[in-house]
Amino acid sequence: MEEFFQQIRERFTSLKDEEKDIIRGLVGTAEGRVLSKILGPELMSQINLRAPTGAKTKRGLGTR
């Protein structure tokens, strides 16, 4: 199983930054939650997702 997780990490690492940002952009969305259910906690715990590099900070009254 560890070999499988390593392959997934390597595949993610080999993605272009734009492709990684697409995956990272799913965090917190309905699509991301469904994908997490499919992949399961075992696989999701192996993937360290951070905010997309082009993430925009929220501004305005709703952020106060």
Q: How far apart are CA 38 and CA 6, in angstroms?
A: 19
pLDDT digits (tens, 9 = 90+) for 14-63: 999 999 899 888 888 999 899 889 988 888 877 766 766 765 555 556 65
Q: How far apart are CA 33 and CA 16, in angstroms?
A: 23
Domain ranges of the chain: 2-50
For residues 3 and 35, is the Cβ–Cβ distance under 8 A? no
Give the pTM. Answer: 0.63
If you write DSSP's letter for every residue of 5-46 in order, what string do you get?
HHHHHHHHHTS-HHHHHHHHTTTTSHHHHHHHHHHHHHHHTT
